[in-house]
Amino acid sequence: MQARPVFLKILDYLSIIVLGVSTYLALVFAPTEAVMGDVQRVFYFHIGTAWVGLMGFVIAAVSGIIYLVTKDMKWDRFEVAAVEVSTVFFFITIALGSIWARPAWNTWWTWDPRLTTAAVTELIYIAYFMLRAGLEDPEKRARFGAVYTLLGGISAPITFMVIRLFRTIHPVVIGSQSAEAQGGFSMTSDMKVAFFFALFAFTIIFIDMIWHRIRLGNLQDNVEQLKLKVTM
């Protein structure tokens, strides 16, 4: 096995540092929100994880398309890495949102468009892993995986548009607010610092994790090839 590249090592340490700083900014530095109080601090990590989660799903769909065109297994490993890391981050987003919703909306869960879309999206990518688990041929697994991430990537935005026909109470902090939203607020400049730093921090952590996952994918491939050699 190759040793960790220097740049990856640096990225590992950087990830730990930015996570620490971001935690400090979110929990101590940012002012307490006037109406909701301390629970609003969940917001920084909620958006941070949602950002990388959604970015990962888009990356996965794009690398799926590239795989279908080039048939290079490298893109399949990239796609799996993106989906796997994003599914975890997206689950954290949903859990954090739920923690916030309990005091703000007085319920853990509601069938709001964003929440429903998030749940459906998460289910799509869980189904993705079940599809891959059902296939033994790595090349077929890669092809089917790429097709499914593509379908999921197209379906999720349409799901959001359809469910919006029902109604929404999810606040929109950036951009225009809907009249029925509950729990919205506007950010002060200190909040913005914590907010943008959280986005930056999670992007770094995301890149670091994807890199590790791709290395793991390469190792898995090597093991499979060695196993084939032994049985032959």
Partner 1 sequence: MKQPTPSFLKATLAIASKDLAAEFRSRELLSAMLVFSMLVILIFNFALELDVKVRQSVTAGVLWTTFAFAGTLGLNRSMAVEKDRGCMDGLLLAPVDRAAIFFGKAISNLTFMLVVEAIVIPLYALLYNETRIFQLEFLGVLLLGSIGYISVGTLLSTMTVQTRTRDVLLPILLFPVAVPVLLASVKASGGIITGAEFAEILTPLNLLIVYDVIFLAVSYMVFDAVVEE
Residues that bind partner 1 (CB under 8 A): 68, 120-121, 123-124, 127, 130-131, 133-136, 140, 143-144, 146-148, 150-152, 154-155, 158-159, 161-163, 165-166
For residue 34, the surrounding DSSP H or E stretch is: none
| 47 vs 115, beta carbon nearer partner 1 | 115
Shortest distance, CB of residue 219 to partner 1, whole angstroms?
A: 24
Q: In this structure, which amino acid lies at residue 113?
A: P
| 48 vs 152, beta carbon nearer partner 1 | 152
| 95 vs 126, beta carbon nearer partner 1 | 126
* Burial status of residue 26 (CB atoms within 10 A of its CB: 0-12, 13-18, 19 or more): buried
Shortest distance, CB of residue 168 to partner 1, whole angstroms?
A: 14
Shortest distance, CB of residue 125 to partner 1, whole angstroms?
A: 9
Distance of CA 3 to the CA centre of its chain: 28
Identify the bridge partners of residue 33 per DSSP, sorted by sequence position. Answer: 37
| 21 vs 131, beta carbon nearer partner 1 | 131
Question: Which tokens is 6 given?
Answer: 């220097």
**φ/ψ of residue 180, rounded to 5:** -90, -5
